[in-house]
Amino acid sequence: MSHGILSQILDYANRANPYPLYEELRKTPVFHDGTGPYVISTYYDIQSLLHDPRLSSDSRNLATTAGDPLAEGGDEEAMALPPSFLKLDPPEHDRLRRMTNRPFGPPHSPHRVDGMRDGLRDIVTGLIDHLGDTERIDLVDQFAYPFPVTMICRLLGVPREDEARFHVWADTLAASLDPDPDSDPAERQRGTHDARMELGMYLAGLVEERRKNPGDDMLSQLAVGRGPDESMSTMELLSTAALLLIAGHETTVNLITNGMLTLLRNPDVLRQLRQEPGLAVPLVEELLRFEPPVQLLPQRTPLVDIEVRGTTIPKGSSMWLVLASGNRDPDRFQDPDRFDPNRKDIQHLGLGSGIHSCFGAPLARLEAQLALSELARRLENPRLLEDPPPYRQNAVLRGPRHLRIACDGILPA
């Protein structure tokens, strides 16, 4: 196999269809070119490693980042906010995740997500009503981006009118996950640092307000909440709020956009969804397998030497787990390159697995189900204006930057 396969995966020229490269990668289930990361690409290996306590998500355990193209953007430890719980190991990870979950989900807030259903539906209806010129709709700018952003602002208690400010920070921080060979690493690191600093200061102002006048939003509950784990420190609260604000919309935008693109490429499934809105539930699961919004998890690190498929991966090495490749592994899924929402067994890796499985999964699923079923129901004869569409630069958070479509009209809600 070409040593350049990792640079090919990261090369923007292959963003529209990285799946043949993943197929090539699976021929060497533990791929290492001698200098870069160890890359794991098969379903059962990824699944097992996601549950392996010997694997760390904390980049402070990384021996070196030399040769790892996803580690060149610099490290969060040098930055304004401490790492979010996503980048910590137990017990710190477990404590912060438990505290964040109290106002978000069971057992303490069992109806939080389900209680949002009507609010979500109203946002979707409003956005579809205002799509305007049906000859040229950009589904990203006009629908898939504003929908989850509006919702995460409402959930956290962030003023929706501030969206333009944090959009810029969110873009900068999402871009920092990706290598950009043409950019100056020091300049990129400065930009990322500044974005985190500004976002941190912005959130600190909101938290201060919520401590004085708490509402029923999540930020208020995290700011004043007391539980068995006591309360978060201010810095922990700020990095958790930043994580929820950015992760709360970045991946869902891709999930909805990838979903609509996939439906427009599979008109028979689109027709079926229009007739059976309940199909949205298994359809979103198949979508998370077929076109996951998070393609790979970079910078996992073994805390001791570990063996995978007869290869010893040394303690402190950089590892990538390529979720999107595992999701298309023919040893796990029959006919893996076919999109089939009626698939009987969709235990995908699209939302991760183990202790770091996607925190916002219940909300992301509900948002995508409502968005896709309503678009299918209300857009008359929708069609793509360009295929493939232009993609975002990001190889980790992969999705179209624009999805330009036309339709014959919009049916009433």
In degrees to the nearest 10, what's the CA dihedral of 66, 67, 72, 75?
-40
What pLDDT shows up at residue 71? 60
On the question of pLDDT at 78 being above 70, the answer is no
pLDDT range class, residue 76, cuts 50, 70, 90: very low
With contact defined as beta carbons under 8 Å apart, do 239 and 83 qualify? yes
* Averaged pLDDT, 342-369: 93
Query: Is the confidence at residue 175, as pLDDT, over 80?
Result: no
Average pLDDT for residues 55-77, to the nearest whole number? 69
Q: Which of 13-27, 139-153, 321-335 has the lowest mean pLDDT?
A: 139-153
- Which residues contact residue 237 at a Cβ distance below 8 angstroms, ignoring those fewer than 6 apart? 207, 222, 223
Q: Where are the beta strands (DSSP E) in 15-118?
A: 30-31, 38-40, 55-56
80 — pLDDT class (breaks 50, 70, 90): low
Instruction: Output the pTM of the full model.
Output: 0.91
pLDDT band at 114 (very low <50, low <70, confident <90, very high): confident
Q: Is the pLDDT of residue 65 over 70?
A: no
Instruction: Report strand pairing: 55-56 vs 297-302.
Output: antiparallel
**Cα–Cα distance measured from residue 358 to residue 377, given in angstroms and rounded to the nearest whole number:** 29
For 50, the token pair is 């996601």
Instruction: Answer whether residue 50 shows pLDDT above 70.
Output: yes
Contacts of 143 (CB under 8 A, 6+ apart): 127, 128, 131, 137, 256, 371, 375
* 267 phi, psi to nearest 5 deg: -60, -30
The pair of three-digit structure tokens given for residue 256, joined into one six-digit string: 């909805």
The least confident of 47-51, 80-84, 311-315, 324-328 is 80-84
Average confidence (pLDDT) over 87-116: 88
The pLDDT score that the predictor gives to residue 227 is 67
Beta bridge partners of 313: 306
In angstroms, the CA 265 to CA 16 distance is 14
C-alpha closest to that of 384 among 409, 406, 408: 406
Axis-axis angle for helices 185-212, 163-175 (nearest 10): 140
- Write the pLDDT tens digit of every residue in 28-42: 999 999 888 999 999
CA distance 274 to 406: 17
Q: Does pLDDT of 258 surpass 70?
A: yes
Determine if the peptide bond prior to 107 is cis (ω within 30°): yes
By percentage, how much of the chain surpasses pLDDT 90? Answer: 64
Distance CA 199, CA 196 (A): 5
Cα 299–chain centre separation: 16
- pLDDT tens per residue, range 260-275: 999 999 999 999 999 9
What number of residues does the chain have? 413
Measure CA 248 to chain center. Answer: 8
Instruction: Tally Cβ neighbours within 10 Å of residue 39.
Output: 23
Q: Could you give phi then psi for residue 212, rounded to 5 degrees? A: -80, -40
Q: Per-residue confidence at 75, pLDDT binned at 50, 70, 90?
A: very low
Tokens, residue 49: 């490693």
Half-sphere exposure of 249 (CA within 13 A, CB side): 26
Express the helix, strand and coil content of the chain in percent, nearest 5 each.
50, 10, 40
Mean pLDDT on 87-106: 90
Range of weakest confidence among 6-15, 160-169, 304-313, 365-374? 160-169
Predicted confidence at residue 231, as pLDDT, reads 79
In the predicted model, what is the mean pLDDT of residues 362-375? 96
- Of 42, 32, 8, nearest to 321 by C-alpha is 42
Q: What is the mean pLDDT of residues 42-60?
A: 96
Structure tokens at 26: 């699976």
Question: What is the mean pLDDT of the segment spanning 298-315?
Answer: 95
Which tops the pLDDT comparison, 2 or 46? 46
Predicted confidence (pLDDT) at residue 99 exceeds the cutoff of 70: yes
pLDDT score, position 401: 94
Condensed to tens digits (0 to 9), the pLDDT of residues 6-21 reads: 999 999 999 999 999 9
Mean pLDDT taken over the chain: 90
Question: Quick one: pLDDT band at residue 182, thresholds 50, 70, 90?
Answer: low
E strand or H helix that includes residue 212: helix 185-212
